[in-house]
Structure 1
Amino acid sequence: MAKTAIPSTAAELEDMISDRSKVEQLMNDGDFPEVIKAYAKTIVEKDTDLKAQIIEQTQMGLADMLGDGTVTNEIKRINREALNSVGSGARSALYNKKALGARLDGTFDNIGDVVRANWHQVSKLTDREELLSKAAKANEIVNSYGSNVPADGGFLIPEQLRSEILSLSLETSVVRPRAMVLPMESLSIVIPTIDETSHASNVYGGVTAYWTEEAASLTESQASFGKIKLEAEKLTAYAEYPNELFQDASAFGGFLSQTLPQAVSWFEDDAFINGNGVGQPLGFLNAEAAVSVAKESGQAAGTILWENIVKAYSRMLPTSHGSAVWIASHDTFPELATMALNVGTGGSAVWLNNGVQGPPMTILGRPVIFTEKTSQLGSAGDINFVDLSYYLIGDRQSMQVAVSDTFKFQNDKTAVRVIERVTGRPWIQSPMTARNGSASTLSPFVKIAAR
């Protein structure tokens, strides 16, 4: 690069750009881009506030891209190799260096260590000195992080392990990997939303565009805003373990690392789907914004017709056709596999064409996810077409573990309790009336009615 002094202030940059001959020389030498990059680097390194603003704006830009569908969620599974380090893969999206448990990172190797260090008979373990040292360090940092009830207490799980638990739980979760997850630094947060119920005459709850003559007066319009309050609820996982299991560090750690993520994801998922919103998340099946597709005339009980599927697809918000998924009960499979498109007196299967290959696991180009957490076959919500980017999850980003030796003393067992604070609810509050005035409203949450 040419021996050009790198500007260190906006004034120096202006002086350099004002010197036409200098700029032309830099351009001819191909050094102009390098000088500008060097200037930007110098300014960012000197101005930490500017650096923070750049990072914030970049994150906001990425969030906008994700929110409007510019970036689609094509990754359906977690790369387990990416979980080997905190700063990579799915864990980096869940890890928060400002979370309460981040102060304990590096203290414990796994969740089993956390529980064993808190065990009443830890002094009898072969690795007791190491565990007691870790427990002492943890106790220096936190005594009780119960958010509502001080008696909640317990050991705070390190953020590194908490994020790993949730990363692994994404493997079995239906809602969390596809929803919008918001970190909560307090027990409640307020999320702004557009108060929009119809596109019949405007968009965004009141914005209208007009074709206007030159110099004519403009007609005023504005958006209508609302808010959604997320309040963290307490999810408690409880289990009892034989005291002998605590003696084997590797076996106990491995067992907890497998069972805990599955338990957390199971009950979270169930609430995000079916929750009634009272002391628990509001599931999308119970959302006010959900629309229901009526059964066909004369349709037999417990059946699924191709017409049900087509009409459910037609009720999805058009902007969500590329991101919505089918979420269906496992016992809907026989009906889906045998549903047919009738043509005159004939017809043919529309999902499975032969018994050689496995099912395509897509319907009308969108993925099908089978679960036992939705309604059973024939009940409302046994098969749903949903865009879960319209579902908000508020994550308090703290997890606690407590161990009791008294409750199951007579059985030589130790009770382990894990507490997480999380909530969830749909982002929009009502179905949408289409621009063409159709009687069939639109929604990102579509379910087939009881049959």
Structure 2
Amino acid sequence: MKNLIELRKKLAAKKEEMRSLIVLAQTEKRGFTDDEETNFTTMEAESRSLEDEIKLEERAQQFAMGGSGAKHTPDDPAHESEFRSLGELISCYRSDPYDPRLKEYREMAAGTKASGGVFVPPKFSAQLFEITPEEAVVRPRALVIPADENAPDSSTTFPALDQGAGSNMYGGVEVNWIGEGDEKPETSAKFRDLTLTPHEVAAHIVVTDKLLRNAPAVNTIITKLFRGAIAAAEDDAFLYGNGVGKPSGAMVSPASITVPRKTANLITYPDVVALIAQAKLGGALIWAASQSILPQLLTMKDEAGNLIFQPNVADKMTGTLLGYPIRFKENAPILGATGDLVLGDMGYYLIKDGSGIFIQASEHPLFKQNKTIIKAFWNVDGKPWVNGPFEMENGYQVSPFIKLGVPTP
């Protein structure tokens, strides 16, 4: 028999290598180089091979146990010392909190001064934060700084572009043509300190005790629901957060520009054009919108009478608005309010991950109902990388964060 734990570790390491290549390309806003494409294709094939090997070994071990699916005892050399899934970990934490497999994860939670619970191994927590560009607006496109192993929740200071008075759209960098033998002028970029301190955030879900005993079902449901909730909550904070005990939102920051709409409670074609006109072009811009504006977008026409938004209805209403992708967010302001339609380049947003995820499960509040409350909590902070709009040489201002406002009085 092969060691399933080692096989799974190899697979996790291989996928992390693949993810690193993707993150590097996204951070640098480019596609794969030829060498990266070759490496990624090779690792992709190796991952599929490992996945097939794991499935085959799991069947072999189940057959060796008589097909009953029963676990080996801890004294058995073939006993697995790791959990197969997040669902199995949660079920074990609830039904057998003193299982020796939980000891290490309790100690890791205590080491980060988390308020109880157990640390979720990265191979499982990665599933919850493996948020695609279709699921979230900010995290997949922002610059994400991973948690420090020694002090994951400590404050971290980064240099950020200073767009204050006397600066320019390149943070004060000056470019001069120098004649032969002329003295080189002194130039210096203007930077400021940007400090990020991860804040604790928690998510809760109630499940029946009967469901909790079904580890595969729990794994599927918890992963799906928590991942969706995490994506929605983080997007809300990263876009609109007030910075008090939570991240500072890009669209309410001093760097954002508000463009007044033409008519109250309406979104018109000139409004959309005006938003693009004040956006800092050249990056990876994306629209974030309230679903309440959808009827107006679907019927909006340009001056020639052409519909400007024709989404893929079968694929969650995805599509582009004047060439830029659009995502509809449940937490966005209602039609007519400032921010019901925003346009942003999230490459100018910094996210600092802290410790977590941690899991707790408690039956006490709902004991008589045979239900359990599952709590997942983690730490994160985020702030815009710039502190003001970019001013071009001719005085015109643009920004990576643009929102539609109310009409000018």
**TM-score per shorter chain, which class?**
0.7 to 0.9
Q: What is the correspondence of 1:88-107 to structure 2 with a 5 Å cutoff?
A: 107=82
TM-score by length of 2: 0.74
Residue 197 of structure 1 and its aligned partner are, at CA, apart by 4.4
- Of the three residues 349, 354, 358, the one matched with 1:400 is 358
Residue 398 of structure 1 and its aligned partner are, at CA, apart by 2.2
Q: What SS class does the counterpart of residue 357 from structure 2 fall into?
A: strand
Task: Check conservation: 2:310, 2:319, Cα contact below 8 A.
Answer: no
- Of the three residues 90, 112, 116, the one matched with 2:87 is 112
Counterpart check, 1:349 vs 2:306? yes
Provide closer, same or farther for how the CA distance between residues 350 and 146 of structure 1 changes in structure 2, counting only shifts above 3 A.
Answer: farther
Residue in 2 that maps onto 1:447? 403
Q: Which moved more, 1:305-314 or 1:243-252?
A: 243-252
Residue in 2 that maps onto 1:79? none
Counterpart check, 1:329 vs 2:290? yes
Cα distance in 2 for partners of 1:159, 1:378 equals: 42
Provide closer, same or farther for how the CA distance between residues 330 and 146 of structure 1 changes in structure 2, counting only shifts above 3 A.
Answer: farther
Cα distance in 2 for partners of 1:225, 1:326 equals: 28
- Of the three residues 132, 139, 144, the one matched with 2:103 is 139
Counterpart check, 1:339 vs 2:300? yes
Provide closer, same or farther for how the CA distance between residues 363 and 166 of structure 1 changes in structure 2, counting only shifts above 3 A.
Answer: same
Q: What SS class does the counterpart of residue 407 from structure 1 fall into?
A: helix
Q: Which moved more, 1:347-356 or 1:166-175?
A: 347-356
Task: Check conservation: 2:105, 2:118, Cα contact below 8 A.
Answer: no
Provide closer, same or farther for how the CA distance between residues 371 and 302 of structure 1 changes in structure 2, counting only shifts above 3 A.
Answer: same
Letter in 2 for 1:219: P
Letter in 2 for 1:390: Y
- Of the three residues 344, 352, 371, the one matched with 1:413 is 371
Q: What SS class does the counterpart of residue 327 from structure 2 fall into?
A: strand
Identical counterparts, % of pairs: 27
Provide closer, same or farther for how the CA distance between residues 172 and 237 of structure 1 changes in structure 2, counting only shifts above 3 A.
Answer: same
Q: What SS class does the counterpart of residue 285 from structure 1 fall into?
A: helix
Cα distance in 1 for partners of 2:398, 2:376 equals: 40
Cα distance in 2 for partners of 1:115, 1:349 equals: 53
Counterpart check, 1:239 vs 2:199? no
Q: What is the correspondence of 1:73-84 to structure 2 with a 5 Å cutoff?
A: none
Residue in 1 that maps onto 2:141? 178
Higher-Rg member (1/2): 1
Q: What SS class does the counterpart of residue 305 from structure 2 fall into?
A: strand
Letter in 2 for 1:448: L
Residue 146 of structure 1 and its aligned partner are, at CA, apart by 5.2
Letter in 2 for 1:196: Q
Provide closer, same or farther for how the CA distance between residues 404 and 221 of structure 1 changes in structure 2, counting only shifts above 3 A.
Answer: same
Letter in 1 for 2:305: S
- Of the three residues 129, 143, 148, the one matched with 1:166 is 129
Residue in 2 that maps onto 1:153? 116
Q: What SS class does the counterpart of residue 354 from structure 2 fall into?
A: strand
| Count of aligned residue pairs for this structure pair | 343
Cα distance in 1 for partners of 2:404, 2:48 equals: 41
Q: Deviations 1:230-280 (Å, cap 9, x if unpaired)?
A: 110111111222222223233223222222222222222221222111111
Structure 2: gaps spanning 5 or more residues: 1-19, 33-43, 51-79
Letter in 1 for 2:192: G
Provide closer, same or farther for how the CA distance between residues 360 and 263 of structure 1 changes in structure 2, counting only shifts above 3 A.
Answer: closer
Cα distance in 2 for partners of 1:401, 1:341 equals: 51
Residue 401 of structure 1 and its aligned partner are, at CA, apart by 0.6
Q: What SS class does the counterpart of residue 349 from structure 1 fall into?
A: coil
Letter in 1 for 2:405: A
Cα distance in 2 for partners of 1:196, 1:355 equals: 39
Provide closer, same or farther for how the CA distance between residues 259 and 205 of structure 1 changes in structure 2, counting only shifts above 3 A.
Answer: closer
Q: Deviations 1:5-63 (Å, cap 9, x if unpaired)?
A: xxxxxxxxxxxxxxxxxxxxxxxxxxxxxxxxxxxxxxxxxxxxxxxxxxxxxx89x85
Structure 1: gaps spanning 5 or more residues: 1-58, 73-81, 89-104, 123-130
Q: Which moved more, 1:169-178 or 1:377-386?
A: 169-178
Cα distance in 2 for partners of 1:336, 1:306 equals: 9
Residue in 2 that maps onto 1:191? 158
Provide closer, same or farther for how the CA distance between residues 435 and 66 of structure 1 changes in structure 2, counting only shifts above 3 A.
Answer: farther
Task: Check conservation: 1:197, 1:432, Cα contact below 8 A.
Answer: no
TM-score by length of 1: 0.68
Q: Which moved more, 1:395-404 or 1:169-178?
A: 169-178
Cα distance in 1 for partners of 2:243, 2:336 equals: 24
Residue in 1 that maps onto 2:37? none
Provide closer, same or farther for how the CA distance between residues 159 and 307 of structure 1 changes in structure 2, counting only shifts above 3 A.
Answer: same
